Structure formats: structure tokens, C-alpha cells
């Protein structure tokens, strides 16, 4: 078609070498590190703790006890990948939990109450997203507004704990699908489904790739003609929905809605996501990493209670682990900057 | 000068005045201050006293935010310093001794200083994002406080210690004088020396400041140390007020209220120009609002709903979108003065 | 090969007007782009080039005028709108996502899907096809950040081709490319032109504009000066149109190059074998008291890198620096400042001014940083220093309390110069101090430099404009490809000689 000669391009084809492999997979390194830490923790606990730590029952309980946190971490991953943050999730979980419990206590059928919980969570996420996207409020501050709102609303719904007697909700927790000492509850299945669904969305849809593009360089994403505004708002809505879903799981788990639930849980969720290898600067990370992060979190918690140590160690150890990961991430980033 | 005041602090001041007016109309007692034994009592005095811990924390937060940072660990530092002070007094065997209390307070503040040094190290030396760096201590700090108190809520009966929060120095509460002293000290150090302007330079453009020879590391590090020390003092006042060290409740959410106060005072979270006076007004707005909510008979647990609306209203008003809309509104009315005068933000 | 004017234009902008608060950024500007033509948009900084581009790409809404694309009137609310209409842009600071793979960057938002989910295999195949169309053979699965800016730019162009663009806007695409990379880019551009794409090219490099363009539109101060076929517009006429002054105004600027410099004594600054891996090969440089040393070289030649190493803005990993014969450790700007050096960066906004602070605060920042925070400069002293430099350098507005971010580029540069002069340096390093500022400010700064050097100040002067270097510097160090290739006495070389040396020295026969 064209007769013009173009000078032959002398771009080296990066041969599939060891270096190329490392370059391609640099983004997954922190996640593998998290897997390694998890394995070391599990092996260490099995070796040094009295009794049988790696029993099917124990490991099954890990998922059961942390299902709500896993769901929160899934939502948080979306937001952090866009280089945002959502401080509201712990409070949203408390609010939707107590809202659901109240609705159920008033005789509202579960088919209405459960969607209402999700909607309430999604609405707070939407509010945060709109503030971030359309009013250029920093995610930190916008979600702080969400935190205040949700926490206050939780107390508006009820100042006390509300017991849940609705059989469907309790079924989510009490049903044990067993296999050889292993078991899983519907809450655990829901949490795992959330992970799988999120992983598919992030990897295989244009929406998911736009999330990564925004985290990589938001200005570029906009100039590339991607739907930045819609995607960012949606990320916060997803986080809010996950907050609502976590509210359901926690209500099922504890058999009650309590407005003081989840104080500081947003920090646990952020810690789990970071430990799972997602960079807080956005654009790099995996939702499966967040699953690993939550498991690390849960394992440490279990180890502490196994040792009979005080739970205050939990906060210190998670803080320390968070520090370790942050410093390592910082070193990786600094190194890649030097190489450029 | 008046032009400057109007520009930067007009809206925060107007909000505070409005709140006070609404309160005075709704409950005439609000403005009533009674004198008993040479000591003033009343709702306004309560606001001044009750605001002390938030005031201290918010002052430190202002400096940290000016450097483009943020300190999420202030609440945890409060818990630690309260725990340290009470544990020392509790273990001394002589809680009524003024010397013991002084030592306890001093050690508590020193520990807070060390925690501030730690935060500053992570941010200024290792170059970790401030939100993340201080998140570490925010998480771990309460654990440390719990370990210090052995997992219990330590309570003491110590008149000298209780004096810090509830005592009076002539007319007004002692805690009020502590916050005034902190405001004056910070304002003097920032504005009478070059620290303020160097801090702003670092906050606005870190790389330009580095090339201009500004000791960025020292300035940023110092900001976290100041924040830590002030949070330590706030922790002592909080503990003195409830006469106990409650590692879980002390300073809970205070980092959020402090950030809100700073933003209300007109300091941008993007760092740079900061206003001590603005932060003071911001704190008073929050404290007055809190008092109003209590007066309205709303359970204090529900008050976050109100603050959520405040946060949303403030950030929406400050957002470029709304500002632009407002500007074009006024511009179309008075097109001849549309040109902004560049002198209006002068110090 | 200027295209036939009978070909219907693909884009017609008429009477485009854009207002910013207090500024008329574009005043009834027309622009016509025809298929199969490379059209250059020329103008000094502030002429309105980027505003016009942003109007065409939907970043800014227009306040007046019409945009017609292939015969239909369009209003673009976003970049996505403009892209849908076939208008794509490649920016200087490559707007892609460094965290994603090359293939994904090419295809993002247009990935082939199967049963609702992205088909990654097809995505990479198609990306490779588009890249190969530009003769670019790279692994589409490698992360974008592993590639050079030149390759990233070609990736961005490939992306534009995925969108099947009728119009491709290249905004300063060559400013960080070396000559070979420019050739590669131009090959691609010609290729696209011959396929009927309309190309809008923006560059500061006149040679490149004349090499690639068919037609030139000139803007000045937000207004249209004219549209010309390249053949009808000689270079001096173009420059005259761009700056609105005759060339000899520029020529009459002071010339200090012939002033004799005493090099018998000890050099003020002496660098031996200073370098940094991947940044600059080890180089030597001496600067004597009262001397202006020019650094000549293209962008990316290592000229900025060299002065950053001398100043301690970046750390050298080999070599050493002596100041007045004494070995000096230069690992931080403070070390350099303590030895009476001053460095004004080429990145005025990013590394120079502190935008939110006032003129006065910016001017005294250097002095204050030296004194430390505990010893504030007294108000009266400050006012005196500030007033002195505002007057001496002609800063406009002459208001010490004006916010620096609101000043024009030239005045910001003067404020920076004032900041450094106020610290009374013995060696002043100026990296591109006159880039993108108006001619008046440029002349002011050049005068000041020659005046100060006559009084004994040593200066290292970097500029892309070789005439300027020749005029000011007594000695010129020439750099190419991250290597110092030699030194010239500016009394013995003219512009052609310098260009020839810069391009050819060390290659083949030249020494």
C-alpha cells in the first residue's frame, strides 16, 4: 500500500530470558513473599506449638473466622488498585450488620433485609466515590466522611446489640459442609466466591483493566479515553457492597448486629491487602494476594490464641509485619527507579 | 491585614460564630458563665476545657500536614502516654505526691517523643508514604499500650494528676492554659523563626527545597516529633480527665477529628501553606458542635453522623468544582473585579 | 510533497476562542488539517499551541468557534469523544500506563473479547500486529516501563492506530529522543502520512519541523499569525512570525564570549573523572574564576546530568570534585551550597520555584536555608534584599507579595536567579535558564549573566540554543550520548563549526 521506505527498526527483541521473566513477573514477587510467609508461619506453628496446629479443623476455622475480613479485603483491593483508600469499611460493616439485624428483628423477611444491607453499603460507597471523583476530595478524607456517617448511622439504628434469630441468616454460619474433618460454611463459600469473582473481573474485563490503568497513571488513563470516572466510582461502590456483604457475614457469624463491631477493622483489611502484595500507590497487586494476606492475618491470630498470649500482641505483630512489607516494597520501588 | 483575615479565615470564623449564635438562641444558658470561688463555669468554659486534647493533637497535625504528611498514630500515642503515666503513678505507692506525677507526665511525654522520632524516621529517612508509615504505629501502638497496662484499665486516685484536666488556674481550667501555651509556643516557633516558611517550602515543592539547600529531612522529622510530643501531652490530659488509662478508648478517632479540624481551618491536605489560627478555629468548631449535639439530646455515639455531614459539606465547598461554580457566579455579576489580586494570600 | 489543496480537510477549526479566568488564551484561531499531510503548529511558549490541541482533543471546552471533523460539526466533551471521532494524541511525556504490558497499553479499552471476557491471546496477537505495522518488534508481554521513551512513543502511536485515527497529534514527541530515534519516529510518521492520516506536529526543533512538515501554522499570544506551505516560509521568516520581532533584535544581545579569562591560577571548580553508571561516562571539567563555561549538547546528551553530579543533586559513583584545589565531598546540594555553588534546574516548576509562596519568600529561600530555621532573616533585611533583586532583574509584577505560581515563566526564572544571586555564590550553574520564556526576559537574563561574570562570578551555562551558548561562554564543553566529547574555545568556532563538532567529532576522522 505504501511505497515509502521506513528505516529498519533496530529494537532489540527482549529474548525470553531469565531477566525477562523476572521483569515480567516483578509485580507478583510481593505476593509470593506473602505466600512464603504464610507457609513459614504454618510450618513454624506446627513445629513449635504443642498439639496439632495443622489440623483440618484449625485450617477450616481460619476461613470461617476471617470470612468477613476476606470480603472487606476484596473490596479494599479494588480501591487500593486505583491508588485510593477506603477507611469506611469497618464502620459500613457495623452499620449494615446492625441494620440487617434490626430489620430481621422487626420481621422483615431475609430476602428483603439482605439486599437492603448490600444496598446500604453500596450507597455509602457511592457517596465516597462521588466525592472522590466529582469533587476531587482525597480518598482518605472522603472515606473518613463515610466512616463517620456509617458509624453514626449504626448507633442511630440501635445503641445496643440486636440478636438475630432469622433461620436463613443463621444457616449461613451453622451449616457445615464436611469432608474428612475439613469443613466449610456458606459464609466461607460466599467469601471465596467474592475472591474468585473479583479476580475474574480484575483480570478479564475492561473494567478491571481500567482499574489497573488508573492506578498506573490516572492522567494517562483519562487521555487514553478510558472510562476513568465511572470506574473509580464503581471501585468505591464495590468496596461499599463488600462492606455490606461483610456485615451480613459478621452478623451470621456472631448471631447479632452490634454497632460497635469493626472498630479498626479497616486497618486490618488494609494491612491484609498490603501484606498480600498490593502496592498502596496503586496499579500493582492481586486479589488472590489479598486472600493470602487475610490468611496470614488469621494464622497469626490463631497462633497467638494457641500460645495463650494476649491479643494485644496481634496488633503489634500485624503492625510489625506491615512495616516489613512496606519497607520491602519501598526497596523494590527504589531499585526499579534506579534501574531506569 | 483585614483583607488577609477575611480571605483565609473568614469562612471558618463565620461557621464558628454561627454555631455560637445558634446555640445562644436555642439555649440561652450557653453563653451564661457563672463565677464560683473565683472559678468560671458554663458551657463555653466546658468547650475550652474539653477541647484541650484535640487542640494539642490538631496543632501537631497541622505541622505534619504542612510537610505533605499525615500522622495517623496520634490516637495510639495518646493511649501509650496515658498508659505510661498511670502505670508509673499506680506503681509509685504515693499517687498524691506532686513529684511522682511530674515524673510520670515527663516520662509519658518522653515516650511519646520517641514514638514521634520513630514515625519521623520512617517518613524522612526511609521515605515511606506518611499514611502508611504512621499506620504501622496506629495499629501497633494500642497493642503496646495494652501491654503496658497489662490488658486492664488502670485507674488511680491522684489529686495532682486529676488537676491536669479538671483543676483551675485562677479563673479558667488548667487544661485550657495548656492548650493556650501550646498554641503560643507553636505559633512563635513557626512564625517568629523561619521554620514555618521552610516547612511550607518543603510541603509545596520538596525537590525545589532540597536543591535550594533546605534541610528537608530535619524539618519533616521534626514535624513528626512535635506531633508525637503534643499527642503525648493530650494523652496525659485525657487520662487525667477519666482518671484512668483505657488503651482501647483513649484517643479513638482523634486523628480523624484532628485532620478535620486542620481542614476546617483552611489548611490544604496537599501540604504547604498552613494556618495555626485556622486550626484553632477548626478545633473550637468541632468542640462546639459536639456540645451542641449533646445539648440536642442526641446520644453521643450518634454524633459521628453530624460530623459526616460537616466533612462532606466542607470538602464539597472547598472542591475545585464548587469553587469554580461560585467564582463564575460572582464573576458574571461583577466582571470588572474578576482579576484576582495576587497579594491577598500574603503572610 | 504538499498535498493537493482540493482534498477536503479532515479537521476544520474556525474562530476558536478559549478564555481562562482573566486571560484570553485563544482568540479566533483557525486550523485546517488535511489527510496525507504533516502540519506543524509553531509558536513560542504561551502562544496557545497546547490550548489549541486541548480544544481539539476535548480536554478544554471551547468558548467560541466551531470544530468540523469530516464535514460534521462536533463538540467534544472528553478525550474519549475526540478519540471516537478519530483524533488521537501522543504527548511528550508519553501518556501510557507503565505498570501494564506493552500489548495491553496498545489495546487498552479495545481488547478483543470472547464471551464477555477479554481474550488475552487475541489481544497480544493484535497488539503485535499493530506494532509490526510500525516496524516495532518487541515482546508485547513485557512491562511498558522496561522500554525507552522512544519505544514508548511508538507504542503510543500504535495505540492511536488501533483506534483507526484519521488525525494524529504529536505534541513535542522528539524532545527526549536522540537522532536515530527521531529518524525512526519520522519514518513512521511519513508512513502514516502516506496512508492518508492527517498529522499535527508540534516541536521546538526547527530542523525537524522543516524536515517533516508540509505546512505550518504559526500562533502568537493566542492569535493566529498565519498558515503557510513550508516551501513558502523560510526559516528566518518563521522565527520572525513566532517571536514578532526581527531576528537582529536577538543578535544584538550582549556577547561576552571574547572577554579574556585568566586561566593561569587555580580553577575554582575542578572535576576529574566524575560519572555515574548509566547516566554519564566519567568526564573532566574545570571552571576558572570569572569564566562562563557553556555546555553544549542535545537534550539527553548528559549535560544536565553532569551539572547535577557537580552540584550533588545526584550522587556520582566515580570521580571527584575539587573546589579551589580542595577535594570536596558532593553528595548533597548542601555540600555544594556550603562551597558557594548555586544551581538553577531546567525544570523550573518541578525543581525551581515554590509555587504557593510569595516572590519575597522564594527569593530569600536560599539564604534562609543556609542560615537554618532558627536564625530567621530580619524583616528589614529581607525587604531590602528582595527590593534590590526585583529591581535589578526587572521582576514583573514588582510586588514582593505576589504568589510566584501566578507569574510568567520569564519572571519565575528571574525570581530563581535572584534566589541564587542573593546567596552570593562564586559559581552559578544555570540549566536552560532561558527556555520557554519571552525574548525580553531572555535578554535580561543574558545581560545579567555577562555582567556578573565580568565582575568575577563563574558560570556554567546550559542551553539548547547554541547561539546563546556561543554568545555567552568563553569555553564550551561539548557532550553527546552521555559522554563529554571535547572542549572548544568559543572565539575559534562559529555556529556551523559547533554544530558540526557536536554532530561529528570523534566519529570517523574528526578528533
Q: What is the pLDDT of residues B28-67, one digit of tens each?
A: 888 888 888 888 888 888 889 999 999 999 999 999 999 9
| Of residues B238 and B139, more confidently modeled | B238
Q: Which CATH superfamily is domain C250-340+426-511 in?
A: P-loop containing nucleotide triphosphate hydrolases (3.40.50.300)
C44 pLDDT above the threshold of 80 = no
Half-sphere exposure of C324 (CA within 13 A, CB side): 8
pLDDT in tens, C267-320: 999 999 999 987 889 999 999 999 999 998 866 678 899 999 999 999 998 999
Task: Please write the tens of the pLDDT for every residue from C216-273.
Answer: 999 987 889 999 999 998 877 787 777 665 444 455 555 556 677 888 889 999 999 9
Pick from A136, A145, A267: CB nearest B320: A136
* Distance, CA of C423 to CA of C407 (rounded, Å): 22
CB spacing of B259 vs A148 below 8 angstroms: no
Tell me which of C21, C341, C362, C369 to substitute to probe the interface with B (most B C-beta atoms closer than 10 Å): C369
For residue B324, report the phi and psi dihedrals to the nearest 5 degrees: -60, -45
Find the mean pLDDT for residues C62-70: 91
Give the separation between CA B44 and CA C11, rounded to whole angstroms: 68
- Ramachandran category for residue C70: left, alpha or beta (phi over 0 → left; psi -120 to 50 → alpha): left
Domain ranges in chain C?
Answer: 11-249, 250-340+426-511, 352-424
Q: Name the most confidently modeled range: A150-154, B21-25, B250-254, C91-95.
A: A150-154
**A4 is a domain residue:** no
Q: Which residues pair with C424 in a beta bridge?
A: none
Task: Find the domain containing A180 and state its range.
Answer: 29-339
Mean pLDDT of A123-127: 97
> Which pLDDT tens digit goes with each residue over B120-177?
999 999 888 898 889 889 888 989 999 998 888 888 888 999 999 888 888 889 999 9
Which grid coordinates belong to C2?
504538499
CA distances from A152 to A145, A156, A164, A258, B161 (A): 11, 6, 21, 12, 33
Three-state DSSP at A277 gives: coil
Are A313 and B312 inside 8 Å of each other by CB?
A: no
Residue B340, pLDDT > 60, answer no
Q: Is B318 on the interface with C (CB under 8 A)?
A: no
Under a CB-based contact definition with an 8 Å cutoff, are residues C170 and C93 in contact?
A: no
pLDDT at A21: 57
**pLDDT on residue C336:** 94
Backbone dihedral angles phi then psi of residue C29, each to the nearest 5 degrees: -100, 135
Tell me whether residues B212 and C373 touch, CB distance under 8 A. no
Percentage of chain C surpassing pLDDT 90?
A: 44
A11 occurs within a structural domain: no
> Residues, chain C, total?
511
Q: With CB atoms and an 8 Å threshold, state whether A313 touches B143.
A: yes
Highest-confidence segment of A75-79, A135-139, B211-215:
A75-79
Answer whether residue B227 shows pLDDT above 90: yes
Asked, for residue A335, whether it belongs to a domain, the answer is yes
Least confident of A1-15, B271-285, B311-325, C126-140: A1-15
Q: Which residues of C touch A215 (CB under 8 A)?
A: 99
Q: Which residue has the higher pLDDT, B325 or B188?
A: B188
Contacts of A212 in chain C (CB under 8 A): 97, 99-100
Is A34 within the bounds of a domain?
yes
Closest alpha carbon to C144 in C99, C112, C83, C207: C99
Q: So what's the pLDDT on residue A14? A: 41
CA torsion angle for C119, C120, C121, C124 (degrees, to 10)? 120
What nine digits make up the cell of C380?
A: 528589614
CA of C46 vs chain A CAs: smallest distance (Å): 22
B260 touches chain A (CB under 8 A): yes
- The answer to the question of residue A237 being in a domain is yes
C-alpha cell belonging to residue C466: 547554541
pLDDT computed for residue B237 by the predictor: 96
The more confident residue out of C47 and C341 is C341
A46-77 as b/e: b if 16+ CB within 10 A: eeeeeeebeeeebbbbbbbebbbbbbbbbbbb
Query: Residues C199, C168: contact at Cβ < 8 Å?
Result: yes
Residue A334 touches partner C, C-beta closer than 8 Å: no
- What is the average pLDDT score of chain B? 87
Report DSSP state, residue A157. H
What DSSP character marks residue A159?
Answer: S
* B342 pLDDT above the threshold of 50: no
Domain assignment present for residue A1? The answer is: no
Asked if pLDDT for residue B338 goes beyond 90, the answer is no
* Predicted structure pTM score: 0.83
| Contact between C187 and A7 using a beta-carbon 8 Å cutoff | yes
- From the list A293, A280, A288, A259, the residue with the least C-alpha distance to A329 is A280
CA pair distance B347, C382, nearest whole angstrom: 14
**Interface touch B200/C357, C-beta < 8 Å:** yes
Give A191 or C181, the one with higher predicted confidence.
Answer: A191
Q: Which of residues 15-54 of A touch C (CB under 8 A)?
A: 16, 20, 23-24, 26-27
What is the CATH code of the structural domain delimited by C11-249? 3.40.50.300
Which residues on B lie below 8 Å from C411 (Cβ)?
none
| Count of pairs with CB atoms under 8 A, one residue in A, one in C | 120
Q: Provide the pLDDT confidence category of residue C407 given band limits of 50, 70 and 90.
A: confident
Chain C partners within 8 Å of A6 (Cβ): 135, 187-188, 190-191
Cβ-proximal residues to C211 (8 Å cutoff; 6+ apart), any chain:
C186
Residue B71: pLDDT over 50: yes
CATH code (residue A115): 1.10.3470
To the nearest whole angstrom, how far is the Cα of B193 from the nearest Cα of chain C? 5
- Tell me the C-alpha distance between A59 and A295, whole Å: 10
Q: What is the 3-state secondary structure (H, E, C) of C196-263?
A: CCEEEEECCCHHHHHHHCCEEEEEECCEEEEEEEHHHCCHHHHHHHHHCCCHHHHHCCCCCCCCCCCC
CATH class of this structure's domain B2-345: mainly alpha
Q: What is the pLDDT of residue C319?
A: 93
Q: Do B204 and C376 touch (CB under 8 A)?
A: no
pLDDT tops 80 at residue C46: no
pLDDT reported for residue A24: 57
- Measured distance CA(B343)–CA(C304) in Å, rounded: 35
Instruction: Give the chain C residue nearest B341 (alpha carbons).
Output: C402
Contact A42, A203 (CB under 8 A): no
Which C residues 86-115 touch A at CB under 8 Å?
89, 91, 95-101, 104, 108-109, 111, 113
Distance separating alpha carbons of residues A195 and A290, to the nearest angstrom: 9
Three cell numbers written together for B263:
481542614
Q: What's the pLDDT at C365?
A: 95
The string of pLDDT tens digits covering residues A217-263 is 998 998 888 999 999 999 999 999 999 999 999 999 999 999 999 98
Q: What is the mean pLDDT of residues C498-502?
A: 79
Q: How many domains does chain A have?
A: 1
Chain C, nearest residue to B335 by Cα: C22
Chain C residues touching residue B271 (CB < 8 angstroms) = none
The closest of C287, C324, C288 to C307, measured between CA atoms, is C287
Residue A10 lies in a domain: no
**Domain annotation covers residue A124:** yes
Q: What percent of chain C has pLDDT over 70?
A: 92
pLDDT tens-digit readout, C463-473: 877 778 888 89
The answer on pLDDT for C21 being more than 50 is yes
Look at residue C175 and tell me whether its pLDDT is greater than 60: yes
Q: Is the pLDDT of residue C11 over 50?
A: yes
Helices H / strands E in chain B, number of each: 15, 6
Asked if the Cβ–Cβ distance from C337 to B213 is below 8 Å, we say: yes
d(CA C482, CA A119): 59
| Residue A226 contacts C, CB cutoff 8 Å | yes
- Rounded to an integer, the average pLDDT of A319-335 is 79
Q: Which phi and psi angles does C76 have, rounded to 5°?
A: -100, 125
Look at residue C5 in the predicted model and tell me its pLDDT: 54
B303 vs A: CB within 8 A: yes
The strand pair at C223-229 and C215-220 is best described as antiparallel
Pairwise CA distance, residues B120 & B76, whole Å: 15
pLDDT of residue B222: 96
Tell me the chain A residues in contact with residue C171 when contact means C-beta distances shorter than 8 Å.
none
Buried b vs exposed e over C414-423: b needs ≥16 C-beta within 10 Å? bbbbbbbbbb
Confirm or reject contact between C179 and chain A (CB < 8 A).
no
CA dist., res. C298 & res. B261, Å (int)? 51
Q: Does C188 touch chain A (CB under 8 A)?
A: yes
Q: C-alpha dihedral over A95, A99, A101, A105, to 10 degrees?
A: 160
Nearest to C305 by CA among C203, C179, C182, C176: C176
Residue A140 has which C-alpha cell? 482518605
* Cβ-based contacts of C82 with chain A (< 8 Å): 225
Q: Which residue has the cell 469473582?
A: A197
Residue whose C-alpha cell reads 497513571 in the numeric block: A217
Q: What is the mean pLDDT of residues A13-23?
A: 49
Amino acid at each position: 500500500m505504501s511505497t515509502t521506505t521506513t528505516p529498519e527498526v533496530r529494537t532489540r527483541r527482549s529474548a525470553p530470558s531469565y531477566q525477562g521473566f523476572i521483569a515480567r513477573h516483578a509485580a507478583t514477587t510481593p505476593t509470593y513473599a506473602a505466600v512464603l510467609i504464610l507457609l513459614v508461619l504454618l510450618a513454624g506453628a506446627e513445629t513449635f506449638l504443642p498439639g496439632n496446629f495443622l489440623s483440618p479443623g484449625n485450617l477450616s476455622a481460619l476461613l470461617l473466622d476471617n470470612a468477613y475480613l476476606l470480603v472487606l479485603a476484596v473490596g479494599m483491593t479494588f480501591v487500593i488498585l486505583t491508588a485510593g483508600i477506603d477507611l469506611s469499611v469497618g464502620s459500613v460493616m457495623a452499620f449494615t450488620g446492625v441494620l440487617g439485624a434490626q430489620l430481621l428483628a422487626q420481621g422483615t423477611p431475609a430476602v428483603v433485609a439482605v439486599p437492603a444491607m448490600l444496598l446500604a453499603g453500596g450507597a455509602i460507597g457511592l457517596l465516597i466515590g462521588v466525592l472522590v471523583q466529582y469533587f476531587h476530595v482525597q480518598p482518605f478524607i472522603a472515606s473518613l466522611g463515610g466512616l463517620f456517617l456509617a458509624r453514626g448511622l449504626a448507633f442511630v439504628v440501635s445503641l445496643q446489640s440486636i440478636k438475630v434469630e432469622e433461620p436463613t441468616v443463621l444457616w449461613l454460619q451453622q451449616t457445615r459442609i464436611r469432608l474428612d474433618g475439613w469443613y466449610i460454611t456458606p459464609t466461607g463459600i460466599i467469601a471465596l466466591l467474592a475472591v474468585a469473582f473479583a479476580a475474574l473481573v480484575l483480570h478479564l474485563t475492561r473494567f478491571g483493566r481500567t482499574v489497573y490503568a488508573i492506578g498506573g497513571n490516572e492522567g494517562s488513563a483519562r487521555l487514553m479515553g478510558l472510562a476513568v470516572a465511572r470506574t473509580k466510582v464503581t471501585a468505591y461502590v464495590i468496596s461499599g457492597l463488600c462492606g455490606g456483604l461483610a456485615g451480613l457475614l459478621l452478623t451470621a457469624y456472631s448471631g447479632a448486629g452490634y454497632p460497635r463491631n469493626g472498630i479498626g477493622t479497616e486497618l486490618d483489611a488494609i494491612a491484609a491487602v498490603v501484606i498480600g502484595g498490593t502496592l498502596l500507590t496503586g496499579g500493582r497487586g492481586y486479589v488472590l494476594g489479598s486472600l493470602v494476606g487475610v490468611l496470614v492475618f488469621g494464622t497469626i491470630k490463631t497462633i497467638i490464641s494457641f500460645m495463650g498470649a494476649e491479643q494485644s500482641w496481634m496488633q503489634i505483630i500485624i503492625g510489625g509485619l506491615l512495616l516489613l512489607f512496606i519497607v520491602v516494597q519501598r526497596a523494590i520501588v527504589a531499585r526499579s527507579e534506579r534501574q531506569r | 491585614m483585614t483583607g488577609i483575615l477575611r480571605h483565609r479565615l473568614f469562612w471558618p470564623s463565620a461557621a464558628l460564630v454561627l454555631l455560637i449564635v445558634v446555640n445562644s438562641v436555642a439555649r440561652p444558658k450557653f453563653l451564661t458563665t457563672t463565677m464560683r470561688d473565683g472559678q468560671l463555669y458554663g458551657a463555653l468554659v466546658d468547650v475550652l476545657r474539653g477541647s484541650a486534647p484535640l487542640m494539642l493533637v490538631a496543632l501537631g497535625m497541622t505541622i505534619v500536614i504542612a510537610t505533605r504528611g499525615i500522622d495517623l498514630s496520634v490516637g495510639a500515642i495518646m493511649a501509650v502516654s496515658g498508659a505510661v503515666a498511670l502505670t508509673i503513678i499506680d506503681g509509685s505507692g504515693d499517687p498524691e505526691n506532686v513529684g511522682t506525677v511530674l515524673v510520670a507526665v515527663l516520662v509519658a511525654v518522653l515516650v511519646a517523643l520517641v514514638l514521634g522520632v520513630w514515625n519521623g524516621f520512617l517518613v524522612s529517612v526511609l521515605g515511606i508514604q506518611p499514611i502508611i508509615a504512621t499506620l504501622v504505629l496506629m495499629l501497633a501502638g494500642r497493642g503496646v499500650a495494652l501491654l503496658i497496662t497489662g490488658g486492664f484499665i488502670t485507674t488511680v486516685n491522684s489529686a495532682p494528676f486529676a488537676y491536669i484536666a479538671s483543676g483551675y488556674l485562677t479563673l479558667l481550667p488548667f487544661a485550657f492554659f495548656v492548650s493556650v501555651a501550646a498554641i503560643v509556643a507553636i505559633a512563635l516557633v513557626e512564625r517568629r523563626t523561619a521554620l514555618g516558611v521552610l516547612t511550607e517550602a518543603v510541603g509545596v515543592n520538596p525537590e525545589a527545597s532540597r536543591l535550594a539547600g533546605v534541610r528537608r529531612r530535619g524539618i519533616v522529622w521534626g514535624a513528626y516529633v512535635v506531633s508525637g510530643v503534643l499527642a503525648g501531652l493530650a494523652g496525659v490530659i485525657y487520662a487525667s480527665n477519666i482518671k484512668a488509662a483505657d488503651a482501647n478508648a483513649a484517643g479513638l478517632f482523634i486523628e480523624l477529628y484532628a485532620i478535620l479540624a486542620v481542614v476546617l481551618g483552611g489548611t490544604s491536605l496537599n501540604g504547604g501553606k498552613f494556618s495555626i489560627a485556622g486550626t484553632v478555629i477548626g478545633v473550637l468548631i468541632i468542640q462546639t458542635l459536639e456540645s451542641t449535639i449533646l445539648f440536642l439530646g442526641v446520644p453521643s455515639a450518634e454524633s459521628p453522623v453530624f460530623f459526616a455531614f460537616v466533612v462532606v459539606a466542607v470538602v464539597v465547598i472547598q472542591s475545585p468544582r464548587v469553587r469554580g461554580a461560585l467564582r463564575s457566579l460572582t464573576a458574571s455579576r461583577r466582571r470588572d473585579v474578576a482579576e484576582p489580586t495576587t497579594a491577598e494570600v500574603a503572610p | 510533497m504538499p498535498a493537493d489543496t482540493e482534498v477536503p480537510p479532515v479537521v476544520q477549526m474556525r474562530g476558536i476562542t478559549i478564555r481562562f479566568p482573566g486571560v484570553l488564551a485563544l482568540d479566533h484561531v483557525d486550523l485546517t488539517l488535511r489527510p496525507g499531510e504533516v502540519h506543524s503548529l509553531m509558536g513560542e511558549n504561551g502562544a496557545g499551541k497546547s490550548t489549541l490541541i486541548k480544544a481539539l482533543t476535548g480536554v478544554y471546552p471551547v468558548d467560541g468557534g466551531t470544530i468540523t471533523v469530516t464535514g460534521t460539526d462536533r463538540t467534544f466533551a472528553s478525550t474519549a469523544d475526540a478519540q471516537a471521532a478519530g483524533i488521537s494524541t501522543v504527548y511528550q511525556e508519553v501518556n501510557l500506563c507503565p505498570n501494564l504490558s506493552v500489548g495491553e497499553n496498545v489495546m487498552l479499552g479495545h481488547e478483543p473479547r470472547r464471551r464477555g471476557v477479554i481474550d488475552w491471546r487475541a489481544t497480544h496477537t493484535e497488539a503485535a500486529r499493530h506494532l509490526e505495522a510500525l516496524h516495532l518488534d518487541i515482546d508485547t508481554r513485557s512491562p511498558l516501563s522496561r522500554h525507552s521513551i522512544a519505544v514508548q512513543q511508538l507504542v503510543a502511536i500504535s495505540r492511536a492506530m488501533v483506534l483507526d485515527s484519521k488525525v494524529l497529534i504529536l505534541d513535542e514527541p522528539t524532545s527526549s529522543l536522540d537522532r536515530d530515534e527521531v529518524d525512526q519516529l519520522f519514518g513512521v510518521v511519513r508512513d502514516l502520512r502516506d496512508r492518508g492520516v492527517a498529522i499535527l506536529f508540534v516541536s521546538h526543533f526547527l530542523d525537524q519541523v522543516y524536515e517533516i512538515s508540509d505546512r505550518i501554522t504559526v500562533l502568537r499570544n493566542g492569535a493566529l499569525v498565519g498558515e503557510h506551505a513550508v516551501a513558502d516560509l523560510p526559516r528566518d521568516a518563521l522565527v520572525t512570525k513566532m517571536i514578532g520581532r526581527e531576528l537582529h533584535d536577538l543578535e544584538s544581545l550582549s556577547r561576552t564570549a571574547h572577554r579574556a579569562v585568566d586561566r593561569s591560577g587555580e580553577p575554582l571548580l575542578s572535576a576529574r573523572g566524575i560519572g555515574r553508571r548509566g547516566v554519564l561516562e566519567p568526564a573532566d571539567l574545570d571552571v576558572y574564576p570569572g569564566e562562563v563555561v557553556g555546555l553544549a549538547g542535545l537534550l539527553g546528551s548528559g549535560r544536565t546530568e553532569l551539572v547535577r553530579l557537580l552540584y550533588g543533586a545526584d550522587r556520582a559513583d566515580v570521580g571527584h570534585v575539587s573546589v579551589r584545589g580542595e577535594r570536596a565531598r558532593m553528595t548533597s546540594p548542601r555540600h555544594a551550597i556550603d562551597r558557594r555553588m548555586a544551581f538553577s534546574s531546567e525544570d523550573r516548576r518541578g525543581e525551581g520555584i515554590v509555587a504557593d509562596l510569595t516572590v519575597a519568600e522564594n527569593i530569600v529561600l536560599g539564604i534562609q536555608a543556609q542560615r537554618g530555621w532558627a536564625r530567621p532573616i530580619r524583616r528589614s533585611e529581607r525587604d531590602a534584599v528582595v527590593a534590590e533583586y526585583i529591581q535589578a532583574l526587572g521582576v514583573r509584577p514588582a510586588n514582593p507579595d505576589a504568589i510566584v505560581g501566578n507569574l510568567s515563566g520569564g519572571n519565575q526564572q528571574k525570581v530563581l536567579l535572584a534566589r541564587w544571586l542573593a546567596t552570593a555564590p562564586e559559581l552559578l550553574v544555570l540549566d536552560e535558564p532561558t527556555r520557554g520564556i519571552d525574548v525580553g526576559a531572555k535578554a535580561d537574563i543574558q545581560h545579567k549573566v555577562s555582567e556578573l561574570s565580568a565582575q568575577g562570578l563563574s558560570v556554567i551555562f546550559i542551553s539548547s540554543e547554541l547561539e546563546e551558548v556561543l554568545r555567552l561562554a568563553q569555553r564550551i564543553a561539548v557532550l553527546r550520548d552521555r559522554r563529554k566529547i571535547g572542549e572548544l574555545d568559543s572565539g575559534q568556532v562559529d555556529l556551523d563549526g559547533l554544530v558540526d563538532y557536536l554532530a561529528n567529532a570523534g566519529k570517523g576522522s574528526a578528533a
